[in-house]
Chains A and B, each alone.
Chain A
Amino acid sequence: MRPNTMLATVFFLALFLLPGCDRISGEQLGLLTAGAVAAKERASAFEIIRGGITAAEPQHAAGVQKWSAAHAEGLAAQAKGLNDLVESVRLHNALGDAARQQIALEAETAAARLDGFVKVLPYLMGAGDGTAFKAWAEDHGKALKVQAETLKALALKLQKGKPKP
C-alpha cells in the first residue's frame, strides 16, 4: 500500500470511528429539515395573528397576554435553533451527541407547546370573525402536532440508531 493511500485510509477510519459523532442519513436529515421548516411556518403564522388575540373573559387578560408573548418568542427561537441545527449538521455532515440531545429536547418542547396551545385555546378570542379564528386555530393546532410528531420520530430514530457505549 502506498503511503498516501495508507494515510487516507487511516484518516477515513478515524473519521468514522470518531466517538460521539455519527454520519446522518438522508432520511434523518429530511426529518430534521421538515421539523425546521414546520417551526418557521408556525412562528410566522402566529406572528401574523398574534396582535388580534385577546382573552375571551377579562379576568384572563393578563394570562393570555403573557402566554401569547411567550408562545411567539418560543416558536421564533425554536425555528431559528432548528434552522441552525440543520445548517450545522449539513456543514459537518455528522450528528454529534450535542445535536442528538438537542433534537430530543426540541421534540419534547414541541409536544409540550402543543399541549399548552390546546389547553389555552378555550380562553382565546381572535379579532373579527369568530369562524376565521376557529379555522386558524384548528390549522395551527394540527401543524404544531405534525411538527411535534416529526421531531419525535427523528428523536426515536436517533435513539435507536445510537451505538451503545
Chain B
Amino acid sequence: MSIPLFDPKELKTSVAELGETLSEILKGEAENFILRNQADAALLGKEAVEAILFVQVFAPTPVMILPSDASPAVIAAAEEILTKRSRSLQLVAQAQKENNAVVARVQKNAVRTATQITSVIVALGIKALLTGGQK
C-alpha cells in the first residue's frame, strides 16, 4: 500500500474531511484485498472477504464513547458505525459457518493489511489534529 501521507495535492487532511478520506482508503484497500484473495473471494463472495478485512480494522479500534450531552445526530452517527460493525461481523459469521478453513486463511491475510490501514488512520488523525482542521 502506498499512500502519499504528506502530499497535500493527493490527500485531503482537514478534520472535517477525514471521514471521507478514510472511507475512500477503506474502499480502495478492500478492492485490492479482494483482488489479492481472488480464489477465496470466489468461494466466500466478495462481500464476505471485504467484511473479514473490515473486522480486522475494527478489532483494534475502540468504540466511540458518547458524551452525556450528545445530540441525537451524534448518537445516530455512532449507532451507524456500530451497525457497520454488526453487519461485517454477521457476514463473517455466515461465511465461517459455511467455510471455516477458508475464512481462517483470509483472516490471516487480512491482519497484515488491516495493520497497515490502521497505521494510516492513526497518521491521518495526527496530521489532521496538527493542522487544526486547516486544508
A residues near B (Cβ < 8 Å) are: 20, 55, 60, 62-64, 66-67, 70-71, 73-75, 77-78, 80-82, 84-85, 87-88, 91-92, 96-99, 101-102, 105-106, 108-109, 111-113, 115-116, 119-120, 123
Q: How many residues of B contact A (CB 8 A)?
A: 36
Supplied contacts A75-B86, A88-B97, A102-B92, 18 more A-B pairs, CB within 8 Å: A60-B72, A67-B75, A77-B83, A77-B89, A81-B92, A81-B94, A84-B96, A84-B97, A85-B96, A96-B104, A102-B55, A106-B86, A109-B89, A112-B64, A112-B78, A116-B82, A119-B66, A120-B79
Residues on B with C-beta less than 8 A from A78 are: 86, 89-90
Residues from chain A with a CB closer than 8 A to the CB of B77 are 66
B93 & A63 in contact (Cβ 8 Å cutoff): no
Is the C-beta of B59 less than 8 angstroms from some C-beta in chain A?
Answer: yes
Please classify the interface of chain A as helix (H, G, I), strand (E, B), loop, or mixed, using the class held by over half of its residues. helix
Interface residues of B (CB under 8 A from A): 55, 58-59, 63-66, 68, 70-80, 82-83, 85-87, 89-94, 96-97, 100, 103-104, 107
Establish whether residues A63 and B75, one from each chain, have CB atoms under 8 Å apart when the complex forms.
yes
B83 touches A98 (CB 8 A): no
The verdict on A102 contacting B82 (CB below 8 Å), with A63-B73, A112-B63 known, is: no
Query: Can you name the residue of chain A whose Cβ is closest to the Cβ of B72?
Result: A63
